[in-house]
Amino acid sequence: MRSFYYLAVLVGVAACDSDLDVQPAIVQWMEWPAEVVAAKPFTARLLMGFPACHKWVFKSAVSADQSAVTFAPYFLVERGEPVCLPSPAALDVFPVPFLGLDTVMIAPGLTASVARTFEMRASAAVSAATPTSSAGDPPVRTFGDVTARLADPDTSRRNAGGVVTMWVDNTGCVRVLPGGYPGSPLVLEDQADTTRLNYAFVRGYIHEVATAVCGQTHVFHLVTRN
């Protein structure tokens, strides 16, 4: 992906011309419109861990081609200090960091002459490398898809995907915590569908329902988990 090429260039620049090192971000959760207008930029919400005990600067990086949008954000971290963000190996044991950066990134407009679907990808903790990845590139995972339409996109849904933890409150209501962070829990639409949900990588969408679930009409509809 082009954004990873830029990241490799930035690593070289940081190594030669500054006191900063480049540290790829690990995206834990992403939300975006299910449908967008072709050629028009759109926003996506991303949650990721960050090097909390070090001075850092966040940099967004996103690219798009004929098949996918790829987010590859990174941090500029002061050289000589140990990396604070858990490594992908550490995340295999405990996949969700306690601290997170909640940010919005702008995706470029998608080229389409008819309605078509693009994958939404991001650097992640666990994934098979893409065929275009080179050694040292962060792994990439598909978080879901987005449909580009020439006009009149459906705005009733926001697609979402990433790592979740499960929280059951004192009334028995099941919520998922996007990225494992407690700040924005989502009520699970199907309260019975909780098998293998804790620390799972899920895909689905957020929408409004006519009949409230746990007193909420703003819910998360689970599509897949693994």
Enter the tokens of residue 6: 């830029």
Which residues, other chains included, contact 17 with Cβ-Cβ below 8 Å and sequence gap of 6+?
A: none
Dist CA 88 CA 33 (whole Å): 28
Place of tokens 């792994």: 139
- Residue 93 confidence (pLDDT): 41
Residues of the chain with CATH 2.40.50: 158-225
Dist CA 195 CA 200 (whole Å): 10
> Does residue 9 have a pLDDT over 80?
no
Question: Which fold is adopted by the domain 158-225?
Answer: OB fold (Dihydrolipoamide Acetyltransferase, E2P) (2.40.50)
165 DSSP β-pair partners: 177
Sheet containing strand 116-123, strands side by side: 35-37, 140-149, 116-123, 68-71, 62-64
Torsion sign across C-alpha atoms 58, 142, 3, 134: positive
DSSP letter assigned to residue 86: P
Pairing relationship of beta strands 200-213 and 158-168 according to DSSP bridges: antiparallel
- Give 68 or 77, the one with higher predicted confidence: 68
Pairing relationship of beta strands 35-37 and 140-149 according to DSSP bridges: parallel
Residue 97: exposure state from Cβ atoms within 10 A (0-12, 13-18, ≥19): buried
Dist CA 224 CA 226 (whole Å): 7
45 DSSP β-pair partners: 31, 104
- Residue 136 confidence (pLDDT): 57
Q: pLDDT tens digit string along 182-217?
A: 888 999 999 999 999 999 999 999 999 999 999 999
The answer, as to whether pTM is greater than 0.85, is no
